[in-house]
């Protein structure tokens, strides 16, 4: 019985003699197919040359000694290529394994992040959050601990990808383990700051905005830890202004205190919270200015909050040629009645 | 995108002149240079940022790390010459209140 190698050599001989007798395109095409088959079977370049030399010695009365020896020389030369090829194969397998691990982690992160967006007839809420890579370093969270009390958190972890995502999981658990009565914005930030300061790399930090909306009296109580300023839309004067709460980023100093602010929200007013992925949008013409973002929001203001955030995102995505450079989060709270 | 770092040493003071963009790609290079200086007790490290047009949050993280390192090792860290764009980042993140940042090149009052 013929071994695999003998079968291959036999085939190679058929194809080669066919080519040498007619020099046809069809014979060349067979060579291409054969090459694919050899790749599948992990046959190295030097083995192919060896096969060529073996076959040449059996047809048309063999080849001169000099040429035969020159093939041995060529085999030596090709060994390096063969090794590089095998290494490449191993790396490709490893990469596939890593990719599938990251996919699992990303879907775990999605599950972790899933949370209900509160539904109330007093507040129209829109949320969009997209990762630049598979995993996101942006975090947002809504908690409705009493019917009239809606808490919202937005955080941006420095960097992107897996390290940022790991850090984000930590924030999520720290937030979940805060006692319910302690959702006062300053206290939340001070608690988280201690957790972050103790647990992350010195060059890592997190920015966060935390607010509590009381739908009975329409007052927004909020505090910030170095988070990218959002916007406030004043419906009565049809005016957008910067909305921010000053404070040091989380993770720099253990003893940082955070000041909380109050704002009374009028009918039709909007609070817009975002991550710096929104303002750091880079296009071929440079950065998108905050004014341009306001113009975008304005053009969709007649829609509901969810439609606004989705439209703004898709426009900004288009401006960046559909390639997000940073994680992107945009949240709108609009007082309905 | 490139980052050039030039060092001038005078007595106890090291002055770093930085040119280019400080982002996720260039931050490791800056971090290595900066941390090796702030780890030396009593060293005065001055970073001139007037040649930096763009910095992202990873870049900012390098300075947060350097600040902590200088507090831990008893060295000092001062940042000078920030452009408006870069200054805004330090301002928003509250770092202007905890870091030694010399007044703006353009004389902007914040």
Beta bridge partners of A283: A286
- Between B17 and A203, the more confident residue is B17
pLDDT at residue A318, rounded to an integer: 84
Q: If you search the block for the tokens 């505090």, which residue do you land on?
A: A223
pLDDT at residue A282, rounded to an integer: 66
Choose from A249, A277, A329 for mutation: most chain B CBs within 10 A: A249
pLDDT at residue B105, rounded to an integer: 52
pLDDT at residue A182, rounded to an integer: 65
The answer to whether the Cβ–Cβ distance between A228 and B92 falls below 8 Å is: yes
The answer to whether the Cβ–Cβ distance between A201 and B65 falls below 8 Å is: yes
pLDDT above 70: residue A160 = no
The answer to whether the Cβ–Cβ distance between A159 and B64 falls below 8 Å is: no
* For chain A, domain boundaries: 4-93, 115-335
Contact A189, A247 (CB under 8 A): yes
Q: How far is CA A46 from CA A16, A75, A275, B5, B100, in A?
A: 17, 5, 55, 48, 64
Name which CATH class applies to B21-101.
alpha beta
pLDDT at residue B108, rounded to an integer: 45
Mean pLDDT, chain A, rounded, equals: 87
**Span A314-333, average pLDDT:** 82
Reported ipTM: the value is 0.86
pLDDT at residue A179, rounded to an integer: 75
- Between B79 and A103, the more confident residue is B79
The answer to whether the Cβ–Cβ distance between B93 and A159 falls below 8 Å is: no
Interface of A with B in 180-209 (CB under 8 A): 201-205, 207
Q: How far is CA A172 from CA A137, A177, A195, A227, A278, in A?
A: 12, 9, 11, 17, 22
pLDDT in tens, A280-300: 666 666 677 888 889 999 999
pLDDT in tens, A71-91: 999 999 999 888 888 898 899
CATH architecture of A4-93: Orthogonal Bundle (1.10)
For residue A261, give the 3-state DSSP assignment. Answer: strand
Of residues B9, B10, B8, the one with CA closest to residue B18: B8
Report the share of chain A in percent with pLDDT over 70. 94
Cα separation, A233 vs A240, in Å, equals 4
Domain A115-335 has CATH 3.60.40.10: yes
Tell me, yes or no, if B23 comes closer than 8 A to chain A by beta carbon. Answer: no
The region of weakest confidence among A167-181, A220-234, A261-275 is A167-181
Tell me, yes or no, if A156 comes closer than 8 A to chain B by beta carbon. Answer: yes
pLDDT above 80: residue A324 = no
Size of interface A-B (CB pairs under 8 A): 56
Confidence category of residue A202, pLDDT binned at 50, 70, 90: confident
Helix, strand counts (H, E) of chain A: 9, 12
Question: Side by side, which strands form the sheet with B44-55?
Answer: B3-10, B13-22, B44-55, B76-80, B100-101
Residue A249 class from Cβ within 10 Å (0-12 exposed, 13-18 middle, 19+ buried)?
buried
pLDDT in tens, A238-255: 999 999 999 999 999 999
Using a CB-CB cut-off of 8 Å, the residues of chain A touching B98 are: 248, 252-253
Q: What is the largest CA-CA distance in chain B?
A: 34
pLDDT above 50: residue B107 = no
pLDDT in tens, A99-153: 888 888 888 877 877 778 888 989 999 999 887 777 777 888 898 888 889 999 9
Cα separation, A145 vs A37, in Å, equals 63
Instruction: Report phi then psi at A302, rounded to 5.
Output: -75, -10
Q: What is the largest CA-CA distance in chain A?
A: 101
Cα separation, B71 vs B69, in Å, equals 5
pLDDT at residue B110, rounded to an integer: 42
Cα separation, A287 vs B85, in Å, equals 11
CA distance B110 to chain A (A): 13
The answer to whether the Cβ–Cβ distance between B98 and A252 falls below 8 Å is: yes
Which residues in A183-307 belong to E strands, given as ranges? 206-214, 219-225, 230-234, 239-243, 260-264, 270-274, 282-283, 286-287
Confidence category of residue B109, pLDDT binned at 50, 70, 90: very low
Choose from B69, B84, B88, B94 for mutation: most chain A CBs within 10 A: B94
CA distance B64 to chain A (A): 6
The answer to whether the Cβ–Cβ distance between B94 and A253 falls below 8 Å is: no
Mean pLDDT, chain B, rounded, equals: 88
Write the residue in B56, B61, B98 that is nearest to A248 by C-beta.
B98
Using a CB-CB cut-off of 8 Å, the residues of chain A touching B97 are: 248
Residue B65 class from Cβ within 10 Å (0-12 exposed, 13-18 middle, 19+ buried)?
buried
- Between B19 and A203, the more confident residue is B19
- Between A60 and A142, the more confident residue is A142
The answer to whether the Cβ–Cβ distance between A203 and B65 falls below 8 Å is: yes
* For chain B, domain boundaries: 21-101
């Amino acid at each position: 019985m013929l071994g695999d190698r003998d079968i291959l050599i036999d085939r190679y001989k058929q194809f080669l003699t066919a080519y040498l007798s007619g020099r046809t395109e069809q014979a060349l095409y067979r060579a291409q197919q054969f090459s694919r088959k050899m790749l599948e079977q992990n046959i190295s370049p030097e083995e192919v040359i060896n096969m060529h030399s073996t076959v040449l010695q059996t047809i048309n009365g063999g080849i001169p000694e000099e040429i035969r020896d020159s093939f041995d020389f060529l085999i030596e030369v090709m060994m390096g290529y063969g090794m590089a090829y095998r290494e490449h194969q191993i790396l490709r397998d490893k990469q596939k394994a890593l990719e599938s691990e990251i996919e699992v982690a990303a879907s775990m992160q999605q599950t972790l992040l899933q949370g209900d967006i509160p539904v109330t007839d007093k507040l129209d809420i829109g949320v969009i959050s997209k990762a630049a890579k598979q995993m996101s370093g942006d975090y947002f969270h809504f908690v409705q601990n009493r019917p009239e009390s809606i808490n919202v958190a937005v955080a941006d972890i420095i960097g992107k990808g897996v390290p940022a995502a790991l850090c984000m999981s930590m924030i999520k658990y720290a937030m979940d383990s805060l006692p319910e009565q302690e959702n006062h914005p300053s206290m939340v930030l001070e608690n988280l700051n201690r957790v972050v300061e103790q647990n992350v790399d010195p060059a890592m930090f997190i920015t966060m905005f935390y607010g509590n909306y009381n739908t009975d009296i329409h007052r927004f109580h909020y505090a910030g830890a170095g988070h990218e300023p959002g916007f406030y839309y004043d419906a009565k004067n049809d005016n957008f202004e910067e909305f921010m709460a000053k404070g040091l980023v989380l993770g720099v100093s253990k003893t940082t205190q955070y000041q909380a602010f109050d704002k009374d929200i009028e009918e039709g007013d909007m609070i817009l919270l975002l991550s710096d992925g929104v303002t750091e949008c880079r296009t071929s013409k440079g950065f998108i200015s905050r004014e341009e973002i306001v113009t975008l929001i304005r053009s969709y203001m007649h829609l509901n909050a969810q439609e606004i955030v989705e439209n703004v995102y898709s426009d900004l995505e288009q401006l960046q040629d559909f390639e997000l450079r940073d994680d992107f989060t945009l949240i709108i709270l609009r007082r309905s009645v | 995108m490139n980052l050039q770092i030039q060092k001038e040493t005078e007595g106890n003071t090291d002055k770093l002149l930085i040119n280019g963009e400080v982002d996720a790609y260039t931050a490791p290079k800056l971090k290595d240079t900066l941390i090796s200086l702030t780890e030396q007790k009593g060293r005065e490290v001055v970073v001139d940022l007037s040649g930096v047009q763009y910095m992202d949050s990873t870049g900012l993280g390098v300075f947060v790390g350097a600040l902590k390192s200088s507090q831990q090792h008893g060295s000092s860290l001062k940042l000078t010459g920030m452009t408006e764009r870069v200054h805004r980042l330090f301002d928003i993140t509250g770092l202007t209140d905890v870091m030694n940042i010399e007044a703006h090149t353009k004389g902007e009052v914040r």
